[in-house]
């Protein structure tokens, strides 16, 4: 953010918004900083990514956890945003852990079995299964390996992806990952806070566009709990 933009922000109390995102709420400050680092990286903003990654590490996030988040963003958004997260970590003197010497690799048949475990083949996967089955297997291999890293819990994986997709204006994906987060034990407060702090990244639109879809997920959680 330039000095000029900061002055504009002062007029609408943008600093107050940032202060709120740094408080302990349903999520710990370090994890919220990691969410913001990932969200800024997806937007393509290196300086903000560095600031939030530094804050995450200083708040107690383990470097392996931060590198796992970078790997997660690589699987979700490709090399550009992941490079920004990696650069922020390297700038802090943190190098990636040794890679898994034998990552899981799915065959086409294994991929189809996984996708059809709950019934029919998902609509998004059908064209790949028909015309590019090897690409589908590779897609699931990358996704599985990124989602199942020991340094990030399943709940944390999907809270990060809920927030990143809210910040990036993708409500259906934000809601899908909120559902996965809920299944992994995330509370309504954690889901809403993860998305709400990305107002700092995407403005009020980041929340407004995803609010209905996320509200439905939370309503379902509250109904089942009560």
Predicted confidence band of residue 148 (pLDDT cuts 50, 70, 90)? confident
DSSP class of 187: -
Query: What are the tens digits of pLDDT across the range 101-134?
Result: 777 899 999 999 999 987 889 999 999 999 999 9
Return all residues near 132 (Cβ < 8 A) that are at least 6 apart.
Answer: none
**Whole-number pLDDT of residue 225:** 77
Predicted confidence band of residue 91 (pLDDT cuts 50, 70, 90)? very high
**Whole-number pLDDT of residue 188:** 95
User: Within 13 Å of residue 126, how many CA atoms lie on the same side as its CB?
Assistant: 5
| Alpha carbon distance 21, 25 (integer Å) | 9
Assign residue 76 a region: left if phi > 0, alpha if psi is -120 to 50, beta otherwise? alpha
Q: Across residues 173-179, what is the average pLDDT?
A: 95
**Whole-number pLDDT of residue 226:** 66
Render 14-50 in DSSP notation, one character per residue: HHHHHHHHTS-SSS-HHHHHHHHHHHHHHHT-HHHHH
Tokens encoding 186 = 């995330």
Helix, strand, coil in percent for the chain, rounding step 5 = 75, 0, 25
Domain coordinates of the chain in residue numbers?
A: 3-97+151-225, 108-141
pLDDT above 70: percentage of residues in the chain: 97
pLDDT above 90: percentage of residues in the chain: 75
Predicted confidence band of residue 100 (pLDDT cuts 50, 70, 90)? confident
Predicted confidence band of residue 12 (pLDDT cuts 50, 70, 90)? confident
* Contact between residue 202 and residue 45 where contact means Cβ atoms under 8 Å apart: no
Tokens encoding 106 = 């799915």
137 has pLDDT over 90: yes
* Contact between residue 47 and residue 88 where contact means Cβ atoms under 8 Å apart: no
The architecture in CATH of the region 3-97+151-225 reads: Up-down Bundle (1.20)
Tokens encoding 154 = 């399943």
| Alpha carbon distance 107, 91 (integer Å) | 38
| Alpha carbon distance 108, 201 (integer Å) | 38
* Contact between residue 98 and residue 151 where contact means Cβ atoms under 8 Å apart: no
**Whole-number pLDDT of residue 162:** 97
């Amino acid at each position: 953010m330039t000095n000029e933009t900061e002055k504009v922000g002062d007029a609408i109390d943008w600093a107050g918004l940032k202060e709120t995102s740094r408080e302990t709420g349903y999520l710990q400050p370090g994890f919220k900083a990691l969410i913001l680092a990932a969200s800024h990286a997806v937007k393509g903003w290196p300086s903000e990514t560095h600031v939030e990654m530094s804050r995450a590490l200083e708040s107690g996030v383990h470097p392996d956890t931060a590198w796992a988040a970078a790997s997660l963003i690589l699987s979700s958004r490709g090399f550009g945003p992941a490079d920004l997260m990696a650069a922020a970590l390297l700038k802090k003197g943190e190098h990636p852990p040794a890679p898994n010497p034998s990552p899981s690799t799915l065959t086409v048949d294994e991929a189809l079995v996984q996708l059809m475990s709950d019934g029919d083949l998902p609509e998004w996967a059908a064209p790949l299964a028909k015309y590019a089955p090897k690409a589908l297997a590779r897609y699931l291999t990358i996704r599985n390996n990124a989602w199942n890293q020991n340094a990030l819990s399943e709940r944390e994986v999907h809270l990060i992806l809920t927030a990143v997709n809210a910040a990036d204006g993708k409500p259906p994906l934000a809601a899908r990952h909120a559902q996965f987060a809920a299944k992994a034990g995330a509370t309504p407060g954690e889901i809403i806070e993860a998305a709400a702090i990305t107002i700092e990244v995407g403005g009020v639109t980041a929340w407004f566009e995803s609010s209905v879809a996320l509200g439905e997920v939370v309503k379902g959680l509250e109904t089942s709990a009560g």
